């Protein structure tokens, strides 16, 4: 049986290869926040999709922890949700202190 020539192997995990210190990866951090804050809301996928300017299917993947928002989507979410911005900035500060 011949393999599909377009099939590309996928890397599992959050893709955080250069984590400076032990702690949550990016996908875990953002996905956990979104699940805790919006996961139980009816229509959470549609609400977050409108805020992030993406499809509800994409948000479903974030909430399941399969992937995390890319740069533009993350910026849109941070502009709408101050708590998410605080969580991200706190993680950046923690990693800076761990690198010093």
Query: At 54, which CATH number?
Result: 1.10.260
> Could you list the residue range(s) of the whole structural domain that residue 44 is in?
26-99
| Dist CA 63 CA 32 (whole Å) | 8
Domain count, the chain: 1
Task: Tell me what the pLDDT averaged over the chain comes to.
Answer: 81
pLDDT of residue 65: 83
Give yes or no for residue 17 having a pLDDT over 80.
Answer: no
Evaluate whether residue 7 is within a structural domain.
no
Evaluate whether residue 38 is within a structural domain.
yes
The structure tokens listed for 97 are: 């202190």
Q: Can you tell me the mean pLDDT for 36-56? A: 93
60-88 per-position pLDDT tens digit:
999 988 889 999 999 999 999 999 999 99
Evaluate whether residue 16 is within a structural domain.
no
Evaluate whether residue 32 is within a structural domain.
yes
Evaluate whether residue 14 is within a structural domain.
no
pLDDT of residue 100: 62
Contact of 31 with 63, CB cutoff 8 Å? yes
| Dist CA 28 CA 45 (whole Å) | 18
Exposure pattern of 12-33 as b/e (b: 16+ CB <10 Å)? eebeeeeeeeeebebbebbbeb
Q: Can you tell me the mean pLDDT for 12-24? A: 46
Closest by CA position to 68, among listed 40, 23, 30: 30
């Amino acid at each position: 049986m011949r393999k599909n020539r377009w099939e590309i192997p996928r890397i599992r995990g959050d893709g955080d290869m250069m984590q400076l210190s032990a702690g949550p990866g990016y996908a875990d951090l953002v996905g956990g926040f979104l699940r805790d804050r919006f996961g139980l809301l009816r229509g959470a996928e549609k609400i977050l999709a409108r805020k992030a300017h993406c499809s509800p299917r994409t948000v479903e993947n974030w909430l399941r922890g399969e992937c995390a928002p890319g740069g533009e989507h993350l910026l849109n979410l941070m502009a709408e949700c101050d708590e998410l911005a605080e969580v991200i900035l706190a993680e950046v500060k923690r990693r800076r202190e761990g690198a010093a």
